[in-house]
Amino acid sequence: MKKKFTNRSLHRDFAYFYFGLIIIFSFSGIILNHRQDWYPMDYTYESEEITMTIPEDASKLNDKEYLASVSKTWTENTFDGNRLRGDQLRIYFKDNAIADIDVKTGKGVLEYKRKVPFVGHSMYLHKTTNKFWIWYSDIFGAAMLLIAITGILIPMGKHGFKQRGWKLAIAGMLFPLIFLFLLA
């Protein structure tokens, strides 16, 4: 029996092929929306209080060599960078360690972090800059357009796109546009 190529079969096959990626992207996207409350890319598994002698010369708080030498008293992890915002100094180390220090008091916390298995790793799909993955994501985006377009063309009659579907489609497009203009 010869299979007939239809809009319904195209929609179905693309949806089947991208099912796993749709689930993972959706799940990790929801988590990224709430990263202020819970950020599974990193969770603290060990922390310790630290003290830093604040130098008289405040410019040393941005001196990478100075910070690398001072931080050797707290951790064996290699210094990776720093950020100074107001009275808060954050020092980054390789292997997911971070020190947050109040530059007025010199008191701080050194945290060692790990990724939440699977969930933390799946968030890389949204954040990676790997060229192969960017191309694959672009193809996925085009496939999502194809799935959406073929999906709206499947129903016929009084529940079809010509009768009522176009109204819902416009409402669905207006909703994110309203938020975009309100937030911009």
Contact 77, 95 (CB under 8 A): yes
The torsion angle over the Cα atoms of residues 126, 128, 129 and 133, rounded to 10 degrees, is -80
Q: Hey, what domains does the chain have and what are their CATH numbers?
A: 7-37+118-183 (no CATH), 43-114 (3.30.160)
Using DSSP bridges, classify how beta strands 107-114 and 79-85 pair: parallel, antiparallel or unpaired: unpaired
- Cβ burial of 67 (10 Å; 0-12, 13-18, 19+) is buried
Task: Return the pLDDT at 170.
Answer: 87
Residue by residue, DSSP assigns 99-164 as EEEETTT-EEEEEEEEPPTTHHHHTHHHH---HHHHHHHHHHHHHHHHHHHHHHHS--GGGSIIII
Task: Return the pLDDT at 38.
Answer: 67
99 phi and psi, to 5 degrees? -115, 130
**pLDDT by residue (tens digit) across 129-183?**
888 988 888 888 888 888 888 888 787 888 788 888 888 888 888 888 888 888 7
Task: Return the pLDDT at 3.
Answer: 65
**pLDDT by residue (tens digit) across 96-140?**
888 999 989 989 999 888 777 777 777 777 777 888 988 888 888
pLDDT exceeds cutoff 60 at 1: no
**pLDDT by residue (tens digit) across 40-96?**
666 667 889 998 888 888 888 888 888 888 888 888 888 898 998 889 999 999 888
Q: What is this structure's pTM?
A: 0.54
Q: Report d(CA 153, CA 151) in Å as an integer.
A: 5
Task: Return the pLDDT at 2.
Answer: 60
**pLDDT by residue (tens digit) across 5-28?**
777 788 888 888 888 888 877 877
Task: Return the pLDDT at 46.
Answer: 81
